[in-house]
Every structure is written in structure tokens, then in C-alpha cells.
Structure 1
Amino acid sequence: MTTLWDTTGTAVVKALAAERRTGGGVTSGLALTLVVVLDEKDTADVEAAVSIAAARHPMRVLAVIRRQLDAPVPRLDAEVEIGGRYGPVESVVLRMYGRLGLHAESVTLPLLAPDAPVVTWWYSETPQVIAQDPLGVFADRRITNVIRDPDPAASLRQRAVDYAPGDTDLTWTVITPWRAALASAFDTVHTPAVSVVVKGNPVDPSAQLLAGWLSSRLGLYVPVEAAEGKYISSVDLHFGDEYTVTLRNDNYKLIMSRPGQMDSIAPFPNRSTGDVLAEELRRLDADQPYAQALGAVTGHSDLSSRPAVRTHIWNDPALAAQEA
């Protein structure tokens, strides 16, 4: 690992090239560049998650840590490594002090892997307006995680207001097993669903998105009814011939109950952030089912038709503080 103190972007680029020569990095083998925006306190969690995702997707990781934006003198510290804590990847950790953090793209742009898609992931709190963060403007895909925000339900609504094709959220990716199981429940029925109810925490973004996905697929209003547990506990499907299918999460097992049949039981493990991130990185195009689910649950019907390209909106926290 090469550590650079009070350095420049040019020096970081040279250090990465030197590490690649000695470590055997191969640019042509990189599937993407993952830009991670995080706080210092989250470093260990991000390292664990990225190392799992990197085992499935060869990538270059640029970890951006903005520190002390009010520091009087801008400074850049960097760690450059091939392999190591972030797994089998080329990784650069960039710690930015002072107003350099407002211009993080000036350091990250020269470090992007050539001819590879760019994915920006905000592990820490999501920006209210992604276009105010240049790291989101130049990305092909943008991954948020509203469950980490102070008010996840409000943040999910804001994601719809601020949506552009290419956006997604890990609370959507978390419910992939639920969506797969629900799709399989329709294999043995011959009449359309007449009502569906999701039971769980009504303010949980995953429960809301699952209800939104079902609403968009079935053309029904699907509510989230309160039930025990922090997340999704069960889903009831009612069909036109009074046939009812219930899926419930019971201690990491998914149990599907149908009239006249034995319960079907399948493993339903609690997936790590790294597993969920790895799944999300499998697709680098716009996620239309997510847009439809988000639109259904927030009342926005135009999400997929919005422009995919964002224009940077300058946002200076110092000016905002003065106006306040």
C-alpha cells in the first residue's frame, strides 16, 4: 500500500499506476469503477461490503471521505492499494479536507477506470438533491440507501422527487427474494388477484417498495398493514375464486401457505450489505421496475420518462449557513 500525505491528484494518479505495475493490476479486466461516499466511522463496514461485491465484480474502488469542510486549508490524503482491505480490487481511499471536498470530482475523475461504467454509492446519508453532488452527476448508476437516513420514509419520497433513470436504492434490492417468491406464487393460480396486503412496518421503505411493486404489476392498490417486526412479516394474496396464498417470513424461513396443500418452506437468510451490493452491481442499465415501484408508492407516474442526464447544481454549505 502507498500512503500519501498532503498530496495532489496528480501524485495519486502516479501512485496508482506504480501500484498497478508492481501489483499486476489489469485495467482491461475491470468491469466498473465504484465511487463510495462514506464517513470515517463507516470505513470498516464499507470495506467488508465492498470486499464481498468485489469478489464477483472486478472493479476499481474510489472511497471518498469528506472531512472538516470548514478547515481553512484544503488538503488531500490518499491510500493506494492493489488487493488488501477492499478485496481483489484496485482501491484508492481519498480523505479530503476543507473546500476540496466540495470539488471531489477534480480528484476522482482522473482516477476512473478507462471505458468502464461508473457507479456512485452513498453509504452515508444520501444528498437531498443528487445533482448537488458532482460524484452523482458523472455516474452511470447511483445507489442510495434510505434506511440509513434519519427519516427513511421521507427520504424514500425525496428519492422519487429527485429521481432520474439510473438511480436505485438498496432497500429495493433487499426485497428481491420477496419478489421472486411472490412471482412463483402465481404459477399455480388461474384467476387474477383481486386484493393484496403487505404486512409489516408501514414506514419501512422495503415494505413500501414491495407494496409499490405489487401495485404496479397487478394494477391494484396494495396497502402496508401494521404487524409485528421491523420489516416485512407477510404478504396475503387473494384471488377471484376465493383462493388465498400467504407468504410469511418465519425466523429466516419463507413459508408459503396454500389451501389444500402442504406448506412450502424455503431458506430466507438475512443478506449482508455486501451481498445486496453485489446483486445491484449486476445491472448497469436503468432499473425500470424500481422506478415503477417507487412511482406507485409515492404517486409519481413520470419517473421512467425523465431525462437520464443530470446537470450539476452548485451547492455551497457555507453560503447556505450564511443565508440561514
Structure 2
Amino acid sequence: MIGLWDTNGNEVIKALAAERRSAGGVASGLALTLVAVVEEKKVREAEAAATIAAAAHPCRLLIVVRSDMEGRSRLDAEIVVGGRLGPAEAVVMRMYGRLALHAESVVMPLLAPDVPVVTWWHEEPPNMIANDFLGVVADRRITDCAQSPDPVAALRQRATDYAPGDTDLTWTRITLWRTLVAGAFDTTDERVTGATVVAPKTDPTAALMKGWLKSRLGIEPEWEHTDRSPRLHSVELQCANGDCVRVTREENTALFSRTGQEDRYMPLPKRPVGDELAEELRRLDADQIYAEALGAMAGLTDLDQKPPARVHVWKDPAMAARADEAAGAFAGPGGSAA
């Protein structure tokens, strides 16, 4: 590992090249560049997840930590090739002051040549991805609405802000659920007339499961709120012939029940973030099924018809904060302008 404190982008590029030569790395062996935008307290989580993902997709990992945007501009960096992060080439960059608002000035020269770029936010997703240049330059963008204070509202915002190439780890977390539910119809073509999803009202996976069922089956599923489980608890389908298909979570297994058949237990583990990330990195094209499920959840149509390219929309959070302060200074006791 090489540590550089109060450095600049050119020194980071030189140090990465030197470390790669020392470790025998070659750029042609990289499948992609993964840009991770991370809160300081979650850097180790991001590194652990990226290590798992890099085992399946050797990548150049660029971790961007934006800190203290009001202080002096400074860049601290750690360069790791191999070692604790497995096959990944990693640069952890902590950016302070105004530099944090222009992270692309350091990140762009570090992108591996001739490979796709994926940006992953391991923090609360941006309200508009176009406000973050690191999302605009990416071929694929991975958010995680579970990191938001209101995950379901954040998922609806992802639909409003959607562009082909976007995805969310909420979608990845229902992969096994979707497999189990779809597998129930491998041996029958009975029409589904109704569905019920049982989950807490703040669970984004339930919202997206509901959207997926609606988009695939053309029905309006019900969402039964429960406090029995902190996450998606069960999915039940009612068929035209009166049969009922139900998948219920029990710890790390799923109880599969169907009218007229014996109950069966199937694996339904809670996967680490690294496995979820690795799954999303398997495809770098737009996920049309996700777009349809997301649109059905939010009541929007033709999300996959939106332009895939975004135009960067500059937003300075410091200026926005000062504008809010100024507005407050002119507000009277009742909250309106004096």
C-alpha cells in the first residue's frame, strides 16, 4: 500500500503506475472501472464488498470519499494493488474542501482505458444523478435506496430520475424471490388473478416486488403491512382455478406452498452486499425488466425509452445552503417573507 497525504492527481497517477509495475498488474486484465462514492464511515464496508465483486470481475476500484466541503481543498489517497482487496487495483481518495465538488478532475485520469465505467453509491443516492458528474460519465449506475431515510420514497425518485443503465440493489435483493415465484409456473400455465405482498410499509424490496408482479402479470397486487419481519415476509398468488401459491421467508430459507402439493423448503439467504454488487456487474447493458418493474411501482411508463445519456447539471451544495440561510433571514416569525 502507498499512502499520499495532501497530494494531487498527478502524484496519484504516478503512484498507481509504480504500484502496478511492482505487483505485475496489466490494464488489459481489467474488466471495468468501478467508481464507489462512499461515506467515510462506510469505506471499510465498500472495500469488503468490492473485494467480493472483484473476485468475479477484476476491476480498478476508485473510492471517492467527500469530506468537509467548507475547509481547505486537499486530497489524501491510498493506493492498493492486490493485497487485502484481492485482484482489484484500488485507489481510496479522501477529498476535502471545494475539491470534493469536482471529484471528476481527479477520477477521470484514473479510469482504466477501453473498459466500461460503473458508478456505485454506497450512501444515500443522489436526488438527481445528473448533479453528480461521476454518474454522468458512467455506463452503468448502481444505487441503494435502502441507505435513504425513506427507502420507498427514494425508490420512487429513482423512477422519476431513471435513465437506461440505472439499477438499484433493491432489485438485486429480490432476485431469489423472483426466481422462486417464477419457478412456480414452470409446470402450469394457469392465469394469476391476484397477488398479496406481506412486508413492512417501509420496505423498498416489497414495493419493487409489487411493481414486478404488476408489470409481468397485469394485475394490481395488494401490499399487506406487517411488523412481524423487518423485510419482505411473503408473496402469495391466487390463480384462476382457485389454486394458491405462497412463498414465505423463514430465517434463511423459503417455505414454498402450493394447493394440492406438499410444502417444500428452498434456500433464501440474506446475501452480503459484495454478492449483490457482483450480480449487478454481470451485465453492463440496460435492464429492461427492472425499468418496467420500477415504472409500474411508481406509476410511470416507457422508462426504457428515455435517453441513456445524461447531461451534467451543476449544483453547488454550498451555494444552495447559503441561499436557504438568506431566505430564512428574510422570513418573518410566521415563516413567510417579512
Q: Deviation at 1:191?
A: 1.8
Q: Deviation at 1:65?
A: 0.6
The match for 1:189 is: 188
SS at match of 1:232: coil
Deviations 1:18-59 (A, max 9, x none): 111110111101000000011111111111111111111100
Which runs of structure 2 are paired with 1:156-167 in the superposition (5 Å)?
156-167=155-166
Q: Deviation at 1:4?
A: 1.0
Greater displacement, 225-234 / 299-308: 225-234
SS at match of 1:249: strand
Which consecutive segments of 4 or more residues in structure 1 shift more than 3 A? none
Write the distance in 2 (CA, Å) between the matches of 1:259 and 1:321: 58
CA contact (8 A) 1:50 1:86 kept: yes
The match for 1:55 is: 55
Q: Deviation at 1:232?
A: 1.1
Q: Deviation at 1:238?
A: 0.8
The match for 1:313 is: 313
Are 2:255 and 1:260 aligned? no
Is there any run of 5+ residues in structure 1 with no aligned partner, and where?
Answer: none
When the two chains are superposed, the root-mean-square deviation of aligned CA atoms in Å is 1.0
Write the distance in 2 (CA, Å) between the matches of 1:150 and 1:237: 31
Write the distance in 2 (CA, Å) between the matches of 1:124 and 1:239: 40
The match for 1:31 is: 31
1:190 partner letter? D
Q: Deviation at 1:246?
A: 1.0
The match for 2:285 is: 285
Q: Deviation at 1:86?
A: 2.5
Are 2:137 and 1:146 aligned? no
Deviations 1:253-299 (A, max 9, x none): 11111122111211111111111111111111111111111100101
CA contact (8 A) 1:201 1:224 kept: no
Q: Deviation at 1:85?
A: 3.1
SS at match of 1:310: coil
The match for 1:15 is: 15
Q: Deviation at 1:202?
A: 2.6
Deviations 1:91-140 (A, max 9, x none): 00111110001110010000001011000001011111110011000000
The match for 1:128 is: 127
Write the distance in 2 (CA, Å) between the matches of 1:164 and 1:98: 30
The match for 2:204 is: 205
TM-score of the pair, normalised by structure 1? 0.98
Write the distance in 2 (CA, Å) between the matches of 1:85 and 1:101: 26
1:208 partner letter? A
Q: Give the percent of matched residue pairs that are identical in Structure 1 and Structure 2.
A: 56
Write the distance in 2 (CA, Å) between the matches of 1:123 and 1:235: 28
The match for 2:241 is: 241
SS at match of 1:217: helix
1:148 partner letter? Q
The match for 1:92 is: 91
Write the distance in 2 (CA, Å) between the matches of 1:191 and 1:226: 27
Q: Deviation at 1:190?
A: 3.1
SS at match of 1:76: strand
2:262 partner letter? M
Write the distance in 2 (CA, Å) between the matches of 1:220 and 1:231: 23
Write the distance in 2 (CA, Å) between the matches of 1:98 and 1:60: 25
1:187 partner letter? D
Write the distance in 2 (CA, Å) between the matches of 1:190 and 1:82: 52
SS at match of 1:168: strand
Write the distance in 2 (CA, Å) between the matches of 1:239 and 1:250: 24
Write the distance in 2 (CA, Å) between the matches of 1:85 and 1:295: 40
1:273 partner letter? V
Write the distance in 1 (CA, Å) between the matches of 2:211 and 2:133: 30
Q: Deviation at 1:84?
A: 2.5
CA contact (8 A) 2:214 2:296 kept: yes
SS at match of 2:220: coil
The match for 1:113 is: 112
The match for 2:333 is: none
1:281 partner letter? L
Greater displacement, 131-140 / 39-48: 39-48
2:218 partner letter? G
Q: Deviation at 1:17?
A: 0.7
Greater displacement, 58-67 / 217-226: 217-226
Greater displacement, 126-135 / 79-88: 79-88
Write the distance in 2 (CA, Å) between the matches of 1:277 and 1:204: 19
Q: Deviation at 1:203?
A: 2.5
Q: Deviation at 1:188?
A: 2.4
1:60 partner letter? R
Write the distance in 1 (CA, Å) between the matches of 2:258 and 2:157: 38
